[in-house]
Amino acid sequence: MGQPPLSQRIQRLERELGIRLFERSSRHVTITHGGTLLLAEAREILTRSEALLATARRIRDGESGLLRAALPPDVSGETIAALLADFADRQAGTELELHELTTAQQLDRFGAGALDVGLVHHPCDVSGLEIGPLLRRELGVLLRHDHPAAQLTDVPLAALTGHDLVLFPRADAPALHDELLTTCARNGYTPTAVRHGQSPSFIRGLILSSQAVAFSPRDTQPAPPHPQIIWRHLAGTPLAWRHSVAWRQGHRDAAVDAFAEAVTQALWGTDTVSMDQPLPPLHLRPTAEYWL
Amino acid sequence: MTRTQDHIRTAFADAAVTGWLHACDIDTGAEVGLHPDHPVVTASVHKLCLLVALHQRAEQGDFDLTEQIEVPPTGRTFGLTGLGAMLDPARVSLRDAAYLMMSVSDNIAADLLLERVGLDAVNRTTTQLGLAHTLAVHTFRQLLDTIKKDAGPSGTRALSDPHTITRLTALDPARTNRSTPRDMTRLLSCIWRDEAGTPDHGAAIRRLLGLQVWPHRLASGFPFDDVHVAGKTGSLPTLRNEVGVVEYPDGGRYAVAVFTRAANTAATLPAADAVIGTAARIAVDALRAPRTRRRSGT
């Protein structure tokens, strides 16, 4: 927009609102106090109008009333039930097409424009996405009942030294796999060996027979608990699954918002979830090539 | 997808990065690529374009590369290397500033040179060499300023938050200095074939690319004392790049451009650095296969 039309638009807006938005001198333009007070609300209106346009686009594209959504396989059945009920309340006119997809599968579908919203595990490549708040599902440790650390209420990671770790296969989520091992190392636990396995029976077998340990959220523990396997908090809660709802950049609309809200509420309601922890210090090394 | 492409893709996935690569034999034009025309953020890789433009303007007689520039200590707030990390007034020649820019990615030296060369001249150079998808839209200071602004009041530590990463305009090829892997191997091929300037200038540019000190990316894939690796890295939060040339004693020389984006927001990710070398090596081995087969007589 050229300078004169912009000035005219601002003057018209000031007349309409009945307040001055900018102080103008011959050289400078500065925003007024009144203008600053209106700014946050104006931005919000712009975001809302973008959401309206996104919804309109979906209707135009013939996808009216359908939300293609995904959840990772590790969300509990109770959480899914709660979220489906809540979503139906919030967005009665929208049909929810819900898929069980890993984070990698969700990213592929986002890239192809075949998914509207999903719950992803971090770390993941967020290019082209926007994300909701990070939710943290604390991980505790599974130990054989006679492990010395089973006597503690909060187990320091370093107390696991000397024991093998059973972890999901690295190829399933290499970034998360490496991040967990780095956090273990940072907190004084470098497993003697990492043994890859996924199924509850395999993990139980290794814990019982070879005194290996495994990490797990509390909410996935069987009730009643296994008589010989104990779940314990980790001291300082260093490990967690980090989730957030994600959607394609610029494609947020009422249905996406409703799904994001329903997922967040359901996870809060049925799982041991907390908001993300404060960010730790970050020391950039010279090879980083950037600096703030 | 060929076997080589599949190997490269697997290597990237294994290192938890998304990667784009182009590699070519400088003399035969044989090539290997994985999404080689995908737009990528260049970051400090663009210092290579600036270096070529600097030499072209010197060749045209616009300035002498031995000319001294005064560098006052004020305003050196953005660097962990070179002039950006020095405390006292300094005086360097244009070509020594170029050495600091290429060997340790010195941002202060780069912007001093960019002030002399001009952003337009950098873009004229890349356009004239046929790099149709390469464009510089801001100086290195301006680039870092966009990150500072997008990161907000928490500063550096906000860079490990995935929300910050989704907000950084510096990570969007449409809104920052950009290129493609194929454009970058074309530039390197021009430099190695003396098509970007006189042989003297070409030799000076190649020398500087060979003086880069970082061992962790492209060079890590070629742990061979008789193989020469010359390159320039580029990095931003979650981005790790390097473009360079690998030369074998049998005369084989290969231009490689690797651009990556990591899933993890951590600043220290040795595996993400190393996969640049791993992927480059897979590509170069594939390009060298006809040659090595011939030599072993099979």
pLDDT score, position B52: 98
Summarize the confidence of residues B267-283 as an average pLDDT.
97
Indicate whether A213 belongs to any domain. Answer: yes
pLDDT score, position A59: 62
Q: What is the CATH number of the domain that holds A30?
A: 1.10.10.10
Categorize the per-residue pLDDT at B267 as very low, low, confident or very high, splitting at 50, 70 and 90.
very high
Summarize the confidence of residues B18-43 as an average pLDDT.
97
Summarize the confidence of residues A212-219 as an average pLDDT.
90
Q: Is A171 on the interface with B (CB under 8 A)?
A: yes
Question: Looking at beta carbons, which residues of chain B come within 8 Å of A289?
Answer: 43-44, 105, 107, 233-236
> Which chain B residue's Cα is nearest to A291?
B78
Q: Which of A19-28, A76-85, A131-140, A260-269 has the lowest mean pLDDT?
A: A19-28
When comparing pLDDT for A27 and B139, which is higher? B139
Domain count, chain A: 3
Summarize the confidence of residues B113-131 as an average pLDDT.
97
pLDDT score, position B196: 96
Decide if pLDDT at A1 tops 60: no
Decide if pLDDT at B1 tops 70: no
Decide if pLDDT at A291 tops 90: no
Q: Is A174 on the interface with B (CB under 8 A)?
A: yes
Indicate whether A282 belongs to any domain. Answer: no
Same domain, A119 and A260: yes
Indicate whether A290 belongs to any domain. Answer: no
> Which chain A residue's Cα is nearest to B159?
A282
Taking one residue from A and the other from B, the number of pairs with CB-CB distance under 8 angstroms is 110
When comparing pLDDT for A8 and B189, which is higher? B189
Q: Which of A74-78, A127-131, B23-27 has the lowest mean pLDDT?
A: A74-78
DSSP symbols for A3-37: HHHHHHHHHHHHHHHTS--EEE-SS-EEE-HHHHH
CA atoms within 13 A on the CB side of A208: 10
CB-CB under 8 Å, B162 with A287: no
Question: Looking at beta carbons, which residues of chain B come within 8 Å of A126?
Answer: 162, 165-166
Q: Is A4 on the interface with B (CB under 8 A)?
A: no
What are the structural domain ranges in chain B? 3-295
Q: Is A130 on the interface with B (CB under 8 A)?
A: yes
pLDDT score, position A54: 64
CB-CB under 8 Å, A125 with B80: no
Q: Is A15 on the interface with B (CB under 8 A)?
A: no
What confidence tens digit (pLDDT) does each residue in B203-239 have? 999 999 999 999 999 999 999 999 999 999 999 999 9
The beta-carbon neighbor of B235 closest among A182, A244, A288 is A288
Same domain, A153 and A220: yes
Decide if pLDDT at A43 tops 80: no
CB-CB under 8 Å, B166 with A282: no
The beta-carbon neighbor of B160 closest among A282, A286, A289 is A282
Q: Angle A254-270/A33-60 helices, nearest 10 degrees?
A: 100
Question: Looking at beta carbons, which residues of chain A come within 8 Å of B15?
Answer: 174
Q: Which of A61-75, A162-176, A200-214, B180-194 has the lowest mean pLDDT?
A: A61-75
pLDDT score, position A37: 74
Decide if pLDDT at B298 tops 60: no
CATH number assigned to the domain covering B3-295: 3.40.710.10
Same domain, A188 and A256: no
Calpha distance B193→B245 (Å, rounded): 12
Question: Looking at beta carbons, which residues of chain A come within 8 Å of B233?
Answer: 287, 289
Same domain, A45 and A98: no
- DSSP structure class, residue B135: B
Calpha distance B220→A136 (Å, rounded): 36
Q: Is A92 on the interface with B (CB under 8 A)?
A: no
Question: Measured between CA atoms, how close is A267 to chain B, in angstroms?
Answer: 20
pLDDT score, position A5: 77
Indicate whether A245 belongs to any domain. Answer: no
Question: Looking at beta carbons, which residues of chain A come within 8 Å of B110?
Answer: none
Q: Is A179 on the interface with B (CB under 8 A)?
A: yes
Strands (E) across A123-224 are located at 129-131, 135-144, 154-155, 165-167, 194-196, 213-217
Domain extent for A102: 64-131+251-275
Using a 10 angstrom Cβ sphere, with 0-12 exposed, 13-18 middle and 19 or more buried, the burial of residue B173 is: middle
Indicate whether A176 belongs to any domain. Answer: yes
Indicate whether A119 belongs to any domain. Answer: yes
Q: What is the CATH number of the domain that holds A230?
A: 3.40.190.10
Categorize the per-residue pLDDT at A58 as very low, low, confident or very high, splitting at 50, 70 and 90.
low
Decide if pLDDT at A175 tops 80: yes
User: The tokens of A272 are what?
Assistant: 């041991």
Decide if pLDDT at B99 tops 60: yes
pLDDT score, position A277: 76
How large is the ipTM?
A: 0.88
Tell me which of A34, A59, A84 is where a domain ends: A59
Indicate whether A41 belongs to any domain. Answer: yes
Same domain, A158 and A215: yes
Give the residue from A136, A137, A184 showing the smallest Cα distance to A160. Answer: A184
The beta-carbon neighbor of A288 closest among B16, B80, B271 is B80
What confidence tens digit (pLDDT) does each residue in A128-174 have? 999 999 999 899 999 999 999 999 999 999 999 999 999 999 988 89
When comparing pLDDT for A55 and B162, which is higher? B162
Pick from A125, A290, A291 the residue to mutate for testing the B interface (most B CBs within 10 Å).
A290
pLDDT score, position A55: 63
Question: Measured between CA atoms, how close is B245 to chain A, in angstroms?
Answer: 20
Decide if pLDDT at B296 tops 70: no
Decide if pLDDT at B73 tops 90: no
Indicate whether A103 belongs to any domain. Answer: yes
Question: Measured between CA atoms, how close is A173 to chain B, in angstroms?
Answer: 8
Pick from B80, B140, B177, B213 the residue to mutate for testing the A interface (most A CBs within 10 Å).
B80
Question: Looking at beta carbons, which residues of chain A come within 8 Å of B13?
Answer: 171, 174
Same domain, A145 and A236: yes
Same domain, A192 and A256: no
Task: Find all residues with CB under 8 Å of A165, minimum gap 6, and list them.
Answer: A184, A191, A193, A194, A195, A212, A213, A214, A215
Calpha distance B119→B108 (Å, rounded): 15
**DSSP H or E segment with residue B63:** none
- What percentage of chain A carries pLDDT values higher than 70? 91
